C-alpha cells in the first residue's frame, strides 16, 4: 500500500480486535484491513469500511485498484 502511495498505519497493540476497530472508527480512518494467518495463506485482506460495513476478503491487488480509482475520481468515503 505504501508503494502505491497510500498512508498506512499498523496497529500492533495487544488490544482486542473490536477495540482496534473502534479506535480506527473514532480516528475516521476510511479503511481497516486485517491480514491474519488465513488471509496471508489466501493472499487476501479482510476489509472493513469506517461506516462499519464489512467488505469481506479481497485480494490486496483488487483493493489497491479500488482505492486508486477512488482517489482518481475523488469518490472518497463520507
Element (H, E) at 30: none
Distance (Å) of CA 47 to CA 18, 64, 75:
14, 11, 18
What pLDDT sits at residue 51? 87
pLDDT in tens, the chain (78 residues): 999 999 999 999 999 989 998 999 999 999 999 998 999 999 999 999 988 899 999 999 999 999 999 888 876 555
All structural domains of the chain: 17-73 (3.40.50.800)
Global pTM reads 0.78
Amino acid at each position: 500500500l505504501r508503494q502505491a502511495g497510500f498512508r498506512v498505519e499498523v496497529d500492533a497493540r495487544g488490544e482486542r480486535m473490536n477495540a482496534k476497530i473502534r479506535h480506527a472508527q473514532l480516528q475516521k480512518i476510511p479503511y481497516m484491513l486485517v491480514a491474519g494467518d488465513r488471509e496471508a495463506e489466501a493472499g487476501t485482506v479482510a476489509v472493513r469500511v469506517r461506516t462499519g460495513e464489512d467488505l469481506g476478503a479481497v485480494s490486496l491487488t483488487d483493493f489497491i485498484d479500488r482505492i486508486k480509482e477512488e482517489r482518481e475520481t475523488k469518490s472518497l468515503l463520507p
